[in-house]
Structure 1
Amino acid sequence: MSNNIERSSQEKRTAFVVIFAFCVMIAEVIVGLSSHSMALFADGVHMGSHVLVIGLNWAAYILVRRLKNKGTTHYDTEKILNLSAFTSGILLILMAIFIIVEAVERFTAEREILNYELALITAGIGLVANTISASVLHGHDGTTDYNSHAAYLHVLSDALTEIGAIIGILCAMFWHITWIDSAVAVISALVVLRWAKRLLWDTGRSLTKA
């Protein structure tokens, strides 16, 4: 008779958000590059950052569940979740640096956005996607652990950068102020850096506790 532990509701919600966000990320990166919208491209990369964060979180849930199925008691499940968050924080910093470098290059090249309508539609889809993801992650009972709460807050910050991308596209579309697009991309990168710093600080303290 099998005594396998079933997937928790948090693991199921996390899996859905990872797959859903990954699809949106691909769309935003492709449209951002093809339309020369740096803000939209940056938002796609930012979306990828929370695919990474939540993906690691998902992997941690799977690992914890499998360890419990094996009856293993030698591992601290909370530290496993925090370690996944700490690792994702390091990668988030690298992504933010990449966005800033790309934004500076686009700013100096002064490239025009080619397809405003498509860029706006994709950014709008991204905003809706983040709203849905936040709702799914939060669920009826709220977030149940540190990692899921961090992922929830990260999705909310992504929604804010989506709004910034839309503002940048609109400014270029109506007033031909193209530098705002790159500026918004840099701001979104700074949001990622700030979030990553706090994530590293909090999880680092937890991992070093005896």
Structure 2
Amino acid sequence: MTDHEERLSSRHQHVFLGEDHRRNETRTWIVIALTTTTMVLEIAAGSLFGSMALVADGWHMSTHAAALLIAALAYLYARRHARDPRFTFGTGKLGDLAGFASAVVLALVALFIAFESTKRLMAPVPIDFGQAIAVASFGLAINLLCAFLLGGHGHGHSHGHGHDHGHKHSHGHDHDDHHHHQEHGHHHPGEAPSRPVQDNNLRGAYLHVLADALTSVLAIAALLLGSLYGWIWLDPAIGILGALVIARWSFGLMRDTGRVLIDFVPGDDDLSGEIRRVIEAEGAEVNDLHVWQLGPGHHGAIVSLAARKPAPPAFYRERLSHIAALSHVTVEVEAA
């Protein structure tokens, strides 16, 4: 049996996890451990020494630990069920689902901060500036460490090869079913450029850490100025500003993950345009084209084309094989 025949007879798998799935999962668990440890220490120390600032910051960190847990469990579940045939197109989108959930939690955090800040703006309360600055500085140090661990929040490039990717495969349909199985390969000169890859699950975790860091930075600035000039109102005022920034991050994450979940493709999507250009260069006309994201760095496509002298589906699949972002292709050929 030739290599080609062996590939044709192989049962393909729909594994569309991100290239750095395991690394991102591990780092998310480390950040959860750091956040949870800090949370427990702050609540315990605050209760022992009667510091409400420590207790409040500890419970505040618990909300971010819960959101980070969503991200970590999504990574774990997606990896363990990556080859489960019940998931028609794999588990690559679980990260986007978790990212959407993180965006909702971020929105709730922003609302809570805005609500509490508005209350304190209308009815100021005494502030122990020294203790509050110390707690905010400690929280900032922890958040900067976590942000470093999650740095880049999932940006990378798709190269068509990775430990968790599985195999790139395509389907062709004419009158009979044809199956084509192609292994991943790296880009070579002259091939289509790699596309940016964004892991929205890691992005959600990163934004939670960043939101906490931003809150700490703004709090330190407000507390320092408040201690110097007696501006008690500045702390809740800057709290409202921080809530607006976090709400904006939440909206952006919700928009991007929501688009992936409902298979939204922008009208100027370069991947769709590249597929059309390749097919039309072969003298065929694209009658129908569907492109959607299967996971970070992985896209699926269904191409229905017509040609006066139609070639087999395998011919058109081969012409599209240089596009690394395509991991699952179905080609339907009709005579014009």
For 1:55-98, what per-residue CA distance to the aligned partner results, in whole angstroms no more than 9, with x for missing partners?
21101011112213xx4133332211101111221222222212
For 2:235, the equivalent position in structure 1 comes to 181
Q: Which runs of 5+ in 2 are unaligned?
A: 1-20, 157-197, 264-291, 293-336
Q: Which runs of 5+ in 1 are unaligned?
A: 1-6
The answer to whether structure 1 residue 106 and structure 2 residue 160 are counterparts is no
Paired AA for residue 10 in structure 1: N
For 1:192, the equivalent position in structure 2 comes to 246
The answer to whether structure 1 residue 12 and structure 2 residue 8 are counterparts is no
For 1:152, the equivalent position in structure 2 comes to 206
Larger radius of gyration: 2
Asked whether the 8 Å contact 1:53–1:85 carries over to 2, the reply is no
| Separation in structure 2 between the aligned mates of residue 49 and residue 194 of structure 1, nearest angstrom | 19
Structure with the higher helix share, 1 or 2: 1
For 1:133-170, what per-residue CA distance to the aligned partner results, in whole angstroms no more than 9, with x for missing partners?
0111238x977723213433443343233211101111
Asked whether the 8 Å contact 1:42–1:99 carries over to 2, the reply is no
The answer to whether structure 1 residue 56 and structure 2 residue 95 are counterparts is no
The normalised TM-score by structure 2 is 0.51
Structure with the higher strand share, 1 or 2: 2
The answer to whether structure 1 residue 88 and structure 2 residue 102 are counterparts is yes
| Separation in structure 2 between the aligned mates of residue 107 and residue 64 of structure 1, nearest angstrom | 44
Structure 1 residues 192, 43: CA separation in 2 closer, same or farther (over 3 Å shift)?
Answer: farther
| Separation in structure 2 between the aligned mates of residue 92 and residue 152 of structure 1, nearest angstrom | 11
| Separation in structure 2 between the aligned mates of residue 154 and residue 41 of structure 1, nearest angstrom | 17
Look up the SS of the partner of 1:78 in the other structure: coil
For 1:93-146, what per-residue CA distance to the aligned partner results, in whole angstroms no more than 9, with x for missing partners?
222212211111112221120x2222111111111111110111238x977723
The answer to whether structure 1 residue 133 and structure 2 residue 187 are counterparts is no
Look up the SS of the partner of 1:138 in the other structure: coil
For 2:52, the equivalent position in structure 1 comes to 34
Percent identity over the alignment? 32
Look up the SS of the partner of 1:111 in the other structure: coil
Q: CA deviation at 1:44?
A: 6.7
For 1:73, the equivalent position in structure 2 comes to 85
Look up the SS of the partner of 1:8 in the other structure: helix
Look up the SS of the partner of 1:156 in the other structure: helix
